[in-house]
Amino acid sequence: PRKAGMERADLLQANGAIFSEQGAALAASAASDLRVVVTGNPANTNAYIAYRNAPGVPRERFTALTRLDQNRAAAQLAAKARCRVGDVTRMTIWGNHSATQYPDAFNARIRGMAADRWIADDAWINFDFIPRVAKRGAEVIAARGLSSAASAANATIEHARDWLRGTPAGDWVSMGVPSDGSYGVPDGLVSSFPVTCAGGDWSIVRGLPLSAFARAKIDASVAELQAEAVEVAALGLLP
């Protein structure tokens, strides 16, 4: 588990070997309808390691948890808007489950209105909301000395529920999934996207508008994912 002073990169070598073994074990013995949610950090790259070590298992069966980030982002928007968290929909986390992630207030909705229009404070969004969500994990660790395990467990349950039972009509959720090249994210990288779910499968939401600011944020997070992929390959964790 992550402790005070640790970044996700510090966990790559320690946890990466676990996920290469788990991927191989799943390929050898798991049920044909398995669904995998990776919560252990660095979650995106651990999911990448796992599916790369699971030949014969469709890579779409492997996901990484970014629902905790989504929940944190929705809570921040709701607090600013003085509304219920349930009033916040279409909350997207882009990129890595790390401090480089991009929580997208511009495609989110508050009671059906674009969240940035409702908030009407771009400075707050850019310089308070985004870094607060991105660094919330470290903030929790600094406050209590340990990670937010209960919140992560609850988010994992919500992730699995929506994946298996489907997302509400007109809404989507955030999941770390293997990219198919959408939004310029290189094929195969496990990056967080907006997704809808039906019948136990997920689909990336297409065609969302992205500003130059958003594009730069996403590109920076994807660059971090690419660097992590290079590192785990150098560590011999990929077949």
CA 113/CA 110 separation, integer angstroms: 5
Which residues are the active-site residues?
97
- Percent of the chain that is helix, strand, coil (3-state, to 5): 50, 15, 35
44 with 177: CB under 8 angstroms? no
Q: In angstroms, what is the C-alpha Rg of the chain?
A: 17
Angle of helix 43-52 relative to helix 212-234, nearest 10 degrees, comes to 50
Residue 195, beta-bridge partner list:
173, 204
Q: What does the DSSP 8-state code read for residue 34?
A: -
Q: How far is CA 141 from CA 2, 39, 80, in A?
A: 8, 16, 23
